[in-house]
Amino acid sequence: MQLLKSTILTLACITSGILMHPCFGQNNIYVSNSGNDKNDGTFKHPVQHLAAALSKAAGYVNEDVVVLLRGGIYPQQKTIELNQGDFKERSLTISSYPNEKAVITGSGKINPVWQPYKGNIIKTKLVAGIAPDQLFMNGKSLPMARYPNFDSTARIYNGTAKDAISETRVKTWQAPAGGYIHALHAGEWGSFDYLITGKNDKGGLTYEGGWQNNRPSPMNKQDRFVENIFEELDAPGEWFYNKTSQTLYLYPPTGVNLNKAVFTVSALTDLIHIIGSKEKPLSNITIKGIDFTQTARSFMLAKEPLLRSDWRMYRGGAILLDRTEQVTISNCNFYELGGNAVFVSNYSKNDIIRDNYIHTIGGNAIAFVGNPNAARSPAFSYETFVPWDKMDYQPGPKSSDYPQYCSATGNLIHHIGTIEKQVAGVQISMSSHITVSHNTIYNTPRAGLNMSEGTWGGHMIEFNDVFNTVLETGDNGAYNSWGRDRYWRPERNLIDSIVAARPGIQYLDVIDPITIRNNRFQCDHGWDIDLDDGSSNYRIYNNVCLSGGLKLREGYSRTVTNNIIINNTFHPHVWLKNSNDVFEHNIVSLPYAPILINNWGKSVDQNFFLTKEALADAQNLGLDKNSIYGDAQFIDAKSGNYHLKPGSPALKAGIKDFDMNFGVTSVVLKKLAQKPVINLLVTSTNQGKQSQVEWLGAHFKNIESLGERSAAGLHDNNGALLTDLPAASLAAKNGLQKGDVVIKLNEDSVNSIEELLKVYQKIKWMGKAKLVIVRNQNQQVITVSFK
């Protein structure tokens, strides 16, 4: 039982002590690797497989049944299906036996007989019927043979290369069929995946796929890589499987005893399906205290568009709940998965996903997705819509075939989207009244929390800690939403005209307000809160935005109050006529960053600014007549304690202190969870006292002396001087050098470190920019990436 030993030891404490001892007065069925499916399932005579236990459980009509898995690893050769015809119990609990760890895996063990091949590469034959999608050694996934080679420090895909599918490189591949191409969207809006089918008559690659993103585009020219190519098997840890000869090739990792190593391969994407019907949903089922791991990757199955959002998805995962009620998944561990962890599909009511640890997975952690047939006048891409004269103007859904009153609470989620980049910690689409509370989510390639559209509102997003987001993509937020509902069109004037002609059309889908409150968000490569493309009917209050600010693109009835925006600002974009938007009683660090604003909503006023300049900018726009500025007197901004001291002028201005108990509440998960990095608060009050600021991981200061000015060859004291450049910093990776002076960022002049940060906060969502620097007394223009 060496498989996953280190992981199991690390995580065993999550469920030990949490699981209740079995109630021996109930109908208990025991499962053990030493059992036999012909046994009766008693403690002394357990069955061997979970499927056999569930078959026996169906014999207890209208009774409570507990299935207890003894410690061990339970490989699944096919998905366990629990459906209406099989479920006769009143309630069913599937659990690890107390103080023991049960692991359900989508992989099977192989017993390789390694033989030398060429150089450092070894090989072994696999038995017929095994077609590995992932290879694990001692519980850890190994990379397929790939170009460029796997680099744990590389930001995107662990390494990308512009020439990944260049003509020159493709010529070196003899039989590339079965390989994969992975690439970011050209606009960094997620990713695409392709299966290589071979070569054409001219020697060029042929491939299929690219359907994973609902905003079609070419592949990103730089951010792409290939894998499962035999000729790229050239680095320790890489492997390749030849289906024709049934031969597995391996470049062994360094320092590994192959005679003692445990190898497993996965080919199964889904482990458990719990599927009811519209007429009789499955209910009263609990799964707790079990590990789920080593499933096959599902990126080529992500084909279904989620209405007009940017997403396409695979409706499956380690656990799929479909047309269920009162199903609880709690205190489980999901790791080393190829796709989604938990997917709640179609009609599902009062399902609870609670206190789970989800990490190192290929897809989404938790998804709530309804049936598009429940939507009125649905459309399925950004460019398409139902004509006004053919639209259904009845509010709300056509049926109840969607998740409702479900919750994702207290889950620790990180390092998701290892292959798929259009993923989230919690994804919501075509659902109603979903509660997302007290989750800690970080290290995500795109949004931490994503709302695909307004259908049908009523969600409560509260007390989450979401940070280190949008790490591999762009133009997104820690919390991201779209509102491309029935009313929405890309043309602002068209929306204005139809809403004027049909008041209330903007609320036909988002029939109940969506609340975002008491969360902490951080996104260095986008916005902390990003309400995009028509997102409407929001109540946003009592949130701390640590880095990316708060963006409201066009939409209606967004009330934003009592939020704290640190080192950034409010980003209103392309507002509509009579939007009824409100931005009041917020603490704002920097000047507003409006784009294409002709209308300013219902009210932008009574805010508290941390700088005099930010307030002056707002008032020059005709806003914030009753707002003030000053020192908010946070209790300890350096440590991230943004509670207000008694007597704070912000309190006198109407700002209210609020509960900042962010993230997971489980004692065990709190010990495992990371926390966001808290950056120094930048204000005009302390700016003059600061000797330097950090940007792109390097340190910059103002030009303060004639000597500094002379050394740099400057004509004046304008610019930001780079004084300290850590080798691993993003500034160093972008080619900046110690002594460089930044004088321009895109089209904006940079006269000081304060302006450097101000301009950066305005444009960092773009992901990159042109930088004008002075180096060795000469101006140079370089392009820098912010990621």
What would the mean pLDDT of 687-699 be, rounded to a whole number? 73
707 — pLDDT class (breaks 50, 70, 90):
low
23 — pLDDT class (breaks 50, 70, 90):
very low
568 — pLDDT class (breaks 50, 70, 90):
very high
| Residue 298: pLDDT over 60 | yes
Which candidate, 146, 171, 165, 172, places its Cα nearest to that of 229? 146
What would the mean pLDDT of 701-729 be, rounded to a whole number? 79
Q: Which domain-ending residue is among 50, 73, 106? A: 106
Cα 69 from Cα 49, distance rounded (Å): 9
- Give tens-digit pLDDT for 149-189: 999 999 999 999 999 999 999 999 999 999 999 999 998 99
DSSP code of residue 402? S
pLDDT confidence of residue 445: 98
| Residue 5: pLDDT over 70 | no
Structure-model confidence comparison of residues 510 and 61, the more confident one: 510
Cα 704 from Cα 725, distance rounded (Å): 19
Q: Are 179 and 193 in contact (CB under 8 A)?
A: no
| Residue 768: pLDDT over 90 | no
Structure-model confidence comparison of residues 755 and 603, the more confident one: 603
Which candidate, 145, 163, 250, 160, places its Cα nearest to that of 205? 163
For residue 729, is it within any domain? yes
What would the mean pLDDT of 276-285 be, rounded to a whole number? 94
Which candidate, 76, 586, 539, 572, places its Cα nearest to that of 337? 76
For residue 165, is it within any domain? no
Cα 292 from Cα 7, distance rounded (Å): 12
3-state secondary structure of 264: strand
- Give tens-digit pLDDT for 308-363: 999 999 999 999 999 999 999 999 999 999 999 999 999 999 999 999 999 999 99
Q: Is 746 left (phi over 0), alpha (psi -120 to 50) or beta?
A: left
3-state secondary structure of 228: coil
Quickly list DSSP for 611-642: SHHHHHHHHHTT--TT-EES---EEEGGGTEE
pLDDT confidence of residue 88: 81
Cα 92 from Cα 75, distance rounded (Å): 21
pLDDT confidence of residue 457: 98
What would the mean pLDDT of 78-103 be, rounded to a whole number? 92
Count of domains for the chain: 2
pLDDT confidence of residue 653: 87
Structure-model confidence comparison of residues 570 and 15, the more confident one: 570
For residue 451, is it within any domain? no
What would the mean pLDDT of 565-592 be, rounded to a whole number? 96
- Give tens-digit pLDDT for 628-680: 999 999 999 999 999 999 999 999 889 999 999 999 999 999 999 999 999 98
| Residue 686: pLDDT over 90 | no
pLDDT confidence of residue 709: 66
pLDDT confidence of residue 280: 93
Structure tokens at 82: 């629990």
**Residues spanned by the domain of 93:** 1-106
739 — pLDDT class (breaks 50, 70, 90):
confident
Q: Which domain-ending residue is among 106, 134, 159? A: 106
Structure-model confidence comparison of residues 709 and 287, the more confident one: 287
pLDDT confidence of residue 683: 67
What CATH number does the domain containing 779 carry?
Answer: 2.30.42.10
| Residue 119: pLDDT over 70 | yes
Which candidate, 697, 680, 677, 649, places its Cα nearest to that of 754? 680
Q: Which domain-ending residue is among 76, 106, 136? A: 106
- Give tens-digit pLDDT for 555-565: 999 999 999 99
Amino acid symbol at 702: N
| Residue 11: pLDDT over 80 | no
Residue 449, strand partner residues: 426, 479
Q: Is 398 left (phi over 0), alpha (psi -120 to 50) or beta?
A: alpha
What would the mean pLDDT of 475-503 be, rounded to a whole number? 95
| Residue 484: pLDDT over 80 | yes
Q: Are 447 and 472 in contact (CB under 8 A)?
A: no
For residue 56, is it within any domain? yes
Q: Per residue in 170-182, is it b (16+ CB within 10 Å) or e — as a string?
A: beebeebbbbbbb
Q: Is 580 left (phi over 0), alpha (psi -120 to 50) or beta?
A: left
Sign of CA dihedral 577, 582, 584, 587: negative
Distant-in-sequence, close-in-space partners of 742: CB < 8 Å, separation ≥ 6: 700, 719, 720, 722, 750, 756, 771, 772, 773
Cα 316 from Cα 3, distance rounded (Å): 25
Which candidate, 298, 310, 297, 347, places its Cα nearest to that of 327? 347
For residue 716, is it within any domain? yes
For residue 718, is it within any domain? yes
For residue 723, is it within any domain? yes
Cα 12 from Cα 562, distance rounded (Å): 41
765 — pLDDT class (breaks 50, 70, 90):
confident
Which of 9-18, 369-378, 590-599, 745-754 is modeled with the greatest confidence?
A: 369-378
DSSP code of residue 361? E
Exposed / middle / buried, residue 435 (Cβ in 10 Å: 0-12, 13-18, 19+): middle
Residue with tokens 């692991």: 103
Tell if the pTM clears 0.85, that is, is over it.
Answer: yes
Q: Between vectors from CA 308 to CA 307 and to CA 313, what angle results, nearest 5°?
A: 55
Cα 290 from Cα 224, distance rounded (Å): 36
| Residue 104: pLDDT over 60 | yes
For residue 595, is it within any domain? no
Residue with tokens 């709302």: 451
713 — pLDDT class (breaks 50, 70, 90):
low
Distant-in-sequence, close-in-space partners of 318: CB < 8 Å, separation ≥ 6: 106, 270, 271, 272, 292, 295, 334, 337, 339, 340, 341, 342
